[in-house]
Structure 1
Amino acid sequence: MHRRLPEVREVHIPTLKTDPTFVFDNKLVSTYAALNRGEVKVGVTRMATTEIHAGFFRREADGSITHVQNLKKSRTSGLTEAIRNGLRPSLDLQWSPHAPGGGGYVCADDEYSLAAYRDLNIAVVPCRVLRPKPILGSEAALWIEPKGKLPKLVRTIPPELVAVATYFGGREVGPAIAIPHLRERCEATMARIEVFHKDEGYDVHYHQMLHAVVRRHARALDTIQVLIGQGRREHGLAICRLAYEAFLNFYLDWLAPQLIGPRLQLIAALRQKESATNRGKDPAWDMLTNFTSLLEKTSEKARLSPLGDWFHDAIYHSLSLVVHQSYSELELEAGNFAHDVEQSQENFSDRRLVQCLDMLTAALLTRVSNEVGGPEKVRGFDEVSDEKP
């Protein structure tokens, strides 16, 4: 069975040993107490490690600021091993006005996880921002609060869309050249996942999920190329939409692997077993609280996507007309009895298709590559408001 977390065991508090040299962050202790009472919202997101300060900052009686760190570098090896086995621990962050540069996010309770991520060159990491601010970040954010023992979604914030990654930039490249190149990028990324992964006793399948997502995307590219070559361009466009929707699911999963992945898995299991007569009646739906709408509505997921609403608006309607077999598709072949009819490219040209697949593949592979120790080399495509697919 697909798992995201290793087996959890109960430990009695009196048996725990504490480090006598550990310096507590009283502000964080207070926040955790309020969180336990259900009084604190949490922003689940991804953040660059360069934006995070290890430890915390404390104002002394004389007005000076002290940077406190509890990290003992020799103790990070266990966490680096766990991450290479597929674990993706979330870092708890708080905003500190005492951080350099007028304030910043501090990581007082998860210094070892932060250090392990840095050791492995994983640059953008899962975080829980305690008492988040309603500001745009480089990645989307999901605000949650307790609902009994289960989290409830209270707000979603899209990422700040500055640039969209692309391999080809503004260059015009035909499908016959572009698609095999994108396919090769997928193959290289899959190889990197296999090299990074260590299977040493952790029953966690995060890296297998990454590999499967890239493999399925590569297969979609293969199929699109074959269909275009056989004059079945309409069917290739349907596969393009399939790849786009797969990416939207992947992005939310990548954003919060321990929160979203299990919920996507549960929704899939419930949808597979339901019928027209028992739709929505399984009590397991209650476990999802109000996450179902976000995880099942394409428009909701698209709003949070790093490709943005503009990308969704530019391609989704056209691709949906193909998938849902708009009468205009039938009219292309209903004018005579010819067996082979030249398919119109008016609504979705080859140039538009390549741009779509280019941005989609780059958005996927940059994030997968981040998970296995290094950035994928892409170009920034800045003209997001003018140059649409």
Structure 2
Amino acid sequence: MKEIKPIASANPFNVVRSIPTFQIPPNKIIVRDDVENDPIFTSRYVAFLSGKTNVHYTRMSISRIRRGFWRSAKSEFELIEETIRNNDVDSIKDLITSGIRLSLHIYENPNKNDDFSYVCADDTPIHVAYEELGISVVPVVLMGKPRDLEESAITIRSIPRGDKDYISLIEGATPVRLNGFHNFLKSEEISLSDALSKLEIEVEKTKNDLRVFHKPARDANHYHHSLHSVLVRAKEHVESIRLLVDNGKLMVATSLLRPLHELALTFYIDWLMPMHMYQYLQLASVMSSDKWDVECEKRRKRNVSEGVLKADANRIKIAHLKAFRFCSVVAEKARIFPLGEEYHKSIYSFLSDMVHHDFSMTARYIDTLDHGDNMVFNENVEHTIRHVAHATISCILSRIRSDIGSAAGA
């Protein structure tokens, strides 16, 4: 393995997240004779590719997904599962540990007597690879209605482009709000400083687990590097907050919760679709929405000139703009964040007041002239720091740990 040199750049397009692809003539593709076709999967996948229906990208516990599919035989079901070849699984495991996250295509289990909620007919070697690596929550493409979800889902639809292949783009989203988060602190009795120190330790543990899980490959993929960058930034924020708290600067410490919260919002939308959303995250980091609108209009006109129907060209433009908004507008990211849009609104307005020092902040500092600089009104500030830091770090760590195998532990 050749030595990996530092990138040493702030150019977002140096972050490699795409999968190497190759064009293969159809007559060169060999299909195994012993793999049976699932008519339900085939019909739904063809319907998606032809733009007749949409699919939903999300994350799902692998324990809810059965390998294979059920074939109806009179009043009973027969389980059909392909024979898994170890070489295929080993190759996929190498891809996963290098940073590539392949999606399982799933649909609702038609056999209501089965314990599994969904079936995976087409990606069974990938399912086995995830299972053997201990990855508990995997990327999935749900072919069917987005119900009983664990995480928010991004809806994708294929749009025709004249003589060219259909293009699959974002159509919308289904937010999922969770009622709580994993409790890393265990006790509310410890001091705020000790609570923040505990969160730092948990972040560092996850960083170490990620390093153990990651295996560099010949073709670079920076998904694991992206996760690690989130963890480094998260620890920097929490450590800085703790140092300010220890120095009695609670109001300044609180202002650092806002960038920590926004870090989690961006992480989540990337984690949901790790092989897709990165493209718009890269664009959003170097381009304004106005410039992107201009670029999309140029593409729309070019599509029309190349034979794409005007209605389809407009749909493509709208989809590109929608995806860009998901990655560039804080409120759009918050809409699908697991703690909910209302949680975001409640803390964001308070944190914005902190940053911009409006008159509510002036009121908190009003006694400092007459009674000394320490006379700042800090009521509920400690609670806010503890709760927001804990919730935000928990949302990040629990998802990264579920994504890097059994080495991450609980």
Into which bin does the TM-score normalised by the smaller protein fall? 0.7 to 0.9
Q: What's the TM-score once normalised by structure 2's chain length?
A: 0.83
User: What is the distance in 2 between the residues matched to 1:155 and 1:164?
Assistant: 25
Deviation at 1:99, TM superposition (A): 5.4
Instruction: Show the counterpart of 1:340.
Output: 373
1:212 aligned partner, one-letter code: S
Q: 2:79 aligns with which of 46, 67, 70?
A: 67
Identical-pair percentage:
25
User: What is the distance in 1 between the residues matched to 2:108 and 2:124?
Assistant: 15
Residues 1:194 and 1:216: Cα distance change in structure 2 (over 3 Å)? same
User: What is the distance in 1 between the residues matched to 2:371 and 2:240?
Assistant: 25
Equivalent residues of 2:206, 2:401 under 8 A apart: yes
Q: 1:76 aligns with which of 72, 89, 95?
A: 89
What pairs up with 1:232-311 in 2 under 5 angstroms?
A: 232-271=249-288, 280-283=293-296, 286=317, 288-311=320-343
User: What is the distance in 2 between the residues matched to 1:45 and 1:235?
Assistant: 36
Aligned partner of residue 60 in structure 2, secondary structure: strand
Residues 1:65 and 1:116: Cα distance change in structure 2 (over 3 Å)? same
Deviation at 1:129, TM superposition (A): 0.7
User: Any idea what the Cα deviations from partners look like across 1:98-136, whole Å, max 9, x if unmatched?
Assistant: 2533873111111111110000010110001112x2424
User: What is the distance in 2 between the residues matched to 1:280 and 1:344?
Assistant: 45
User: What is the distance in 1 between the residues matched to 2:393 and 2:327?
Assistant: 21
Instruction: Show the counterpart of 1:182.
Output: 199
**Between 367-376 and 139-148, the greater mean CA deviation after superposition:** 367-376
User: Any idea what the Cα deviations from partners look like across 1:68-120, whole Å, max 9, x if unmatched?
Assistant: 01131413100011100001001111223125338731111111111100000
Aligned partner of residue 166 in structure 1, secondary structure: coil
Q: 1:17 aligns with which of 30, 33, 40?
A: 30
Equivalent residues of 1:152, 1:289 under 8 A apart: no
Instruction: Show the counterpart of 1:382.
Output: none
- Quick check: 1:30 aligned with 2:50? no
User: What is the distance in 1 between the residues matched to 2:261 and 2:176?
Assistant: 18
Aligned partner of residue 204 in structure 1, secondary structure: coil
Residues 1:54 and 1:375: Cα distance change in structure 2 (over 3 Å)? same
Equivalent residues of 1:174, 1:351 under 8 A apart: no
Equivalent residues of 2:103, 2:141 under 8 A apart: yes
Aligned partner of residue 143 in structure 1, secondary structure: strand
- Quick check: 1:127 aligned with 2:140? yes
Q: Specify every segment of 5 or more residues in structure 1 that has no aligned partner in the other structure, as ranges.
A: 379-389
User: What is the distance in 1 between the residues matched to 2:75 and 2:228?
Assistant: 52
1:344 aligned partner, one-letter code: F
Q: CA RMSD in A?
A: 2.5
Aligned residues: 371
- Quick check: 1:140 aligned with 2:177? no
User: What is the distance in 2 between the residues matched to 1:207 and 1:250?
Assistant: 12
Residues 1:103 and 1:88: Cα distance change in structure 2 (over 3 Å)? closer
Deviation at 1:227, TM superposition (A): 2.2
Equivalent residues of 2:154, 2:173 under 8 A apart: yes
User: What is the distance in 2 between the residues matched to 1:289 and 1:333?
Assistant: 43
User: Any idea what the Cα deviations from partners look like across 1:264-321, whole Å, max 9, x if unmatched?
Assistant: 11211224xx8x9x57433489583422333333233223222223532442221111
Aligned partner of residue 156 in structure 2, secondary structure: strand
Q: 2:348 aligns with which of 313, 316, 325?
A: 316
Residues 1:349 and 1:375: Cα distance change in structure 2 (over 3 Å)? farther
Deviation at 1:342, TM superposition (A): 2.7
Deviation at 1:223, TM superposition (A): 1.1
1:101 aligned partner, one-letter code: D
User: Any idea what the Cα deviations from partners look like across 1:138-168, whole Å, max 9, x if unmatched?
Assistant: 1111122123444343332222524321222
User: What is the distance in 2 between the residues matched to 1:377 and 1:70?
Assistant: 31
Equivalent residues of 2:17, 2:221 under 8 A apart: yes
Q: What's the TM-score once normalised by structure 1's chain length?
A: 0.88
Q: 1:4 aligns with which of 5, 17, 25?
A: 17
**Between 260-269 and 185-194, the greater mean CA deviation after superposition:** 260-269
Q: 1:329 aligns with which of 353, 358, 361?
A: 361
- Quick check: 1:227 aligned with 2:239? no
Instruction: Show the counterpart of 1:113.
Output: 126
Aligned partner of residue 97 in structure 1, secondary structure: coil
Residues 1:67 and 1:312: Cα distance change in structure 2 (over 3 Å)? same
Instruction: Show the counterpart of 2:9.
Output: none
User: Any idea what the Cα deviations from partners look like across 1:354-380, whole Å, max 9, x if unmatched?
Assistant: 1221121111111111121138677xx
Q: 1:353 aligns with which of 385, 391, 404?
A: 385
Aligned partner of residue 36 in structure 2, secondary structure: coil
